[in-house]
Every structure is written in structure tokens, then in C-alpha cells.
Amino acid sequence: MAADLTTNPLQLLPLELVDEWIGSRIHIEMKSDEETVGILLGFGDFVNMVLEDVTEFEIIPEGRRITKLDPIFLKGNNIPMLVPGGQGPEI
């Protein structure tokens, strides 16, 4: 699935683009009020993902909760936006 680095990014399929992010830090905005930042280990056809070195940011009535997590699995249908190289929301 890996694309040639000389390929025009506009000619890549979405999953080919995500494949280039494996091993990189990625910022994920979830459908809920949560955002997750971690290193992408892998993903499937439905953009289900496995992340490590994960930090979860959640908005709560008292402000923002930041939680460090072990490797996690995220279902792709809960992910509306991916930001490669993202560090998470401003604190």
C-alpha cells in the first residue's frame, strides 16, 4: 500500500496517505468531545487504528482532562478527522 515518495499527493488514495503516517505521531479528533494523540502502529480498510504512546484529551465540566494510555485500538467510524504530526489541542 505504500506510495512512492515521488507520487503527487493529489493522486493518492486516502488509505495510501494514511499508510505513509505509520510510525508517525498523529492527532485524532473523535466524534465525542475527545481528542487523541499517539503514534500510529497500523490500520485497516475501515481506518480502525492501533496507537501507542497515547495521550487522550477530554473536555469535562471542570475544564480538560488529560490521560496517558497504553496502546489502544480505535474504531474508524468514530474518527471524523486525522491530523498527521499533530501534538493535540492547545492546553
Cβ(51)–Cβ(42) below 8 Å: no
Q: Distance (Å, rounded) from C-alpha 15 to C-alpha 50?
A: 15
Q: Is the pTM of this model over 0.95?
A: no
Say whether pLDDT at 73 is over 80.
yes
The domains found in the chain, sorted by start residue, are 14-84 (2.30.30.100)
Q: Residue 8 — pLDDT band, cuts 50, 70, 90?
A: low
* pLDDT number for residue 9: 60
Q: Which residue has the cell 504530526?
A: 85
* pLDDT number for residue 33: 79
* pLDDT number for residue 60: 87
Q: Residue 41 — pLDDT band, cuts 50, 70, 90?
A: very high
Q: Distance (Å, rounded) from C-alpha 70 to C-alpha 54?
A: 7
